[in-house]
Chains A and B, each alone.
Chain A
Amino acid sequence: MHVLIVFIEILVLFAVVMLHVAYATYFERKIIGHMQVRLGPMQQGWHGLLQPIADGIKSFFKEDIVPAQADVLPFRAAPIICLTAMMAALAVLPFASGWVLADINIGLLFIFAMSSLASYGVILAGWATNSKYTFLGGLRSMAQVVSYEISFGLSLVGVMMLSGSLNLSKIVEAQGSSFGGMYLFPQIIAFFVFCVAMLAETNRVPFDLPEAETELVSGYCTEYSGMRYAMFFMAEYIGMMVMASIGTICFLGGWNGPFEVAFFPPFWFVFKIYIFMFVFIWIRATMPRYRYDQLMDIGWKLLIPLSLVNIVLTGIVKAFVG
């Protein structure tokens, strides 16, 4: 019976998240559209509201092309790895007090593990397609994830030190419900590092080198089509949501807000996630793209030292004050 309940919970979470992913694409297209003096999708439904569904149906029925020279098994597996890893990360996210699928004590570590695992999908895709552009995209992604995973992890060490836990619910509870309790203020350096690393981890502009359209013709997913391409797409958006959730949980006080929304406890959590998503999209509409070596420079020469400094500072303050 317990298993059945968990199963239903998983299904509900899956359905809700997929709906959000679908409408995150709509959200992005509309916002970028309006920022770029155009309208975005307008044809399907009222103001294009059915566009994500149309897209989904279209990509579901498109032909699944496997290049003749590709290694079939990894080629087929890569998008599934990506999507599964990202979906698994959702399990430990506390959407509200008690609204969590698996309240495990190493939640943060689990999310790190899953987001690194997702990059295997990207690398495999680049490798197995057996094409030069995808290969370059895969290599870029590998280098990028390896360098930014470090600063990404280190930036959250300060949060762990302050809250004394890796359990995401505990981190939120440690921040309390007051505005000043948010770790955004004591961990402002870490928040900066986190934001930059977050963009790089999710391959978003200005760090979208693995799929740089004008250089690598969309990189690792060049040869993908139909549903498998859509899976990469979904993985990217779930990745964005997971990253935004971590930001919300670790720095912005999770589900706590200025007042309680009784009928829908995760209201503030979702609200904060969408603020993050908006910033993601805003940056995409504004920034050019970094070059590969400049990206590495920022990762190794700026972000890692900064996050190390932050750890030391947090340690000192904690030793003397608390």
Chain B
Amino acid sequence: MTRPISKTINVPVADGDGDRYTLRMGPQHPATHGVLRVDLELDGETILKCTPHVGYLHRGFEKLAEHRTYAQSLILTDRLDYIAAMSNNVGYCVAVEKLLGVSCPMRAKYIRTIVGEMSRLCSHLLWLATHALDIGAMTVFLYCFREREILLDLFEKLCGARLTFSYTRIGGVRQDVTADFMSELQRFVDIFPSKVSDYETLIDTNRIWLKRTVGIGVLSADEALSLGLTGACLRGSGVDYDIRKHRPYDAYDQVDFEVPIGADGDIYARYRCRMEEMLQSNKILQQCIDQLPPGPIFNDDAPDLVMPMQGERKIEADTTTYGSGLIKFIDEHGSHPVGDVYVSTEVPKGELGFYFISDGSGHPYRMHIRSPSFIHIGAIPYLAEGGFIADLIANIGTLDVVLGECDR
């Protein structure tokens, strides 16, 4: 896009034939949620062609993981969806446990469910905040951040980090929850539904909000499936697919919750789905608080990087003849199992899947990350073409993408 430098007013935007012009949105555009670039071909404000470009944040995680042990790759998953890093941690550990045949104690499963749902709330709150800001409602943005702050403080209390947690471990979690943490979580769970209704009073029946969301970005169930959308984007189109129900992991088969399903497949339906999901997450949190069983928080045969944190574990680590968990694991199992698994978990954005191939060496032979954002961004042209620029912004918001996860 080179344009002759001219000191007179030329037609400043006509590249090529008269009526059409191209507009390059991003990678530093306030509404593209990171470093997404969208090349638009416009006729007035109508989008004729929309081409998303990704990869500005590509860090080669899949290649890196092949050169690290399973436990070392855990920190990479923090950098996928950095808004809900805890969900990625959980997803990764669930997948590796399945691959290596390691089990996880019940208490750790409950804790993982708690942190998974907390990060779902975090992510949905940030989604609502930015989605509303994209459409112009500024106050919701700050209201959501108020509650997100409480959650981040809780995370900080739990593991010392607010963004990249690396909290879960293969075969358990890093640290046990404290009574202080649980009581603060209980306080949050008690107030949260009233906060959700706060957001709803601002936008739920707001005429402008309805005008901007109802009937915009419509996807039928078949289209959504064909595009590979998952999470609330798929459920908004009326497909009942939630991995927490379909292939339960952690403690999701122990708790009672509903999966909200939309019908219309438009932005408003997806918005309603996520709002309901927040309340359901809250419900799951409450049940986990009530049911949290006592017991160990990591498994003894966990492969490596299980630190002797707890008193009981410390004694055992001293008395055992094994220097570390890894040696013990290899000794018991002969080697890492050979084979491949695909395990997916329901992260806030959709279905986060890990496909592992193990060749028995202790490093993954191949790790593929099926990231929902990558597939969702691929769907942007189908939603945006033929619409207005303002609708493109709303559509990017409704797909709830994070570029760290997309580019990996």
Q: Mark A residues whose CB is within 8 Å of B.
A: 32, 35-38, 68-69, 71-72, 74, 127-128, 130-133, 135-136, 205-206, 208, 212-217, 284-294
Q: Chain B residues with Cβ under 8 A from A133's Cβ?
A: 23
Interface assignment of B187: CB less than 8 Å from any CB of chain A: no
The answer to whether B138 and A208 have CB atoms under 8 Å apart is: no
The answer to whether B7 and A287 have CB atoms under 8 Å apart is: no
Q: Chain B residues with Cβ under 8 A from A128's Cβ?
A: 9
The answer to whether A37 and B393 have CB atoms under 8 Å apart is: no
Supply 6 further A-B pairs (C-beta < 8 A) apart from A128-B9, A214-B30, A288-B206.
A36-B142, A130-B10, A136-B23, A214-B136, A292-B390, A293-B388
B window 31-58: CB within 8 A of A: 31, 45
20 residue pairs from A and B, CB less than 8 Å apart: A36-B139, A38-B142, A72-B7, A130-B9, A136-B23, A136-B389, A206-B208, A213-B30, A215-B390, A285-B138, A287-B137, A288-B136, A288-B137, A288-B203, A288-B208, A289-B136, A289-B212, A289-B390, A290-B212, A291-B391
Q: Mark B residues whose CB is within 8 Å of A.
A: 3, 5-10, 12-13, 21, 23, 29-31, 45, 132-139, 141-143, 146, 202-203, 206, 208-209, 211-212, 388-391, 393
A130 to B391 CA separation, bound complex (whole angstroms): 25
Q: Chain A residues with Cβ under 8 A from B211's Cβ?
A: 290-291, 294
A233 to B218 CA separation, bound complex (whole angstroms): 38
A289 to B45 CA separation, bound complex (whole angstroms): 16
A292 to B202 CA separation, bound complex (whole angstroms): 22
The answer to whether A214 and B208 have CB atoms under 8 Å apart is: no
Least CB distance from B2 to A in Å reads 11
Q: Chain B residues with Cβ under 8 A from A292's Cβ?
A: 45, 388, 390
If A36-B143, A206-B208, A285-B138 touch, does A74 touch B5 (CB 8 Å cutoff)?
no
A-B pairs with the 4 shortest C-beta distances? A289-B136, A36-B142, A288-B137, A214-B31
Q: Which of A38, A69, A74, A206 contacts B136 (CB 8 A)?
A: A206
If A71-B7, A293-B388 touch, does A208 touch B136 (CB 8 Å cutoff)?
yes
Q: Chain B residues with Cβ under 8 A from A36's Cβ?
A: 138-139, 141-143
Q: Chain B residues with Cβ under 8 A from A291's Cβ?
A: 211-212, 388, 390-391
Q: Which of B6, B9, B208 contacts A127 (CB 8 A)?
A: B9
A125 to B245 CA separation, bound complex (whole angstroms): 55
The answer to whether A285 and B139 have CB atoms under 8 Å apart is: yes
The answer to whether B3 and A69 have CB atoms under 8 Å apart is: yes
The answer to whether B5 and A214 have CB atoms under 8 Å apart is: no
Q: Which of A35, A71, A212, A214 contacts B9 (CB 8 A)?
A: A71
Q: Chain B residues with Cβ under 8 A from A213's Cβ?
A: 30
Least CB distance from B61 to A in Å reads 30
Q: Chain B residues with Cβ under 8 A from A293's Cβ?
A: 45, 388
Query: Which residue of chain A is the closest to B392 with respect to CB atoms?
Result: A215
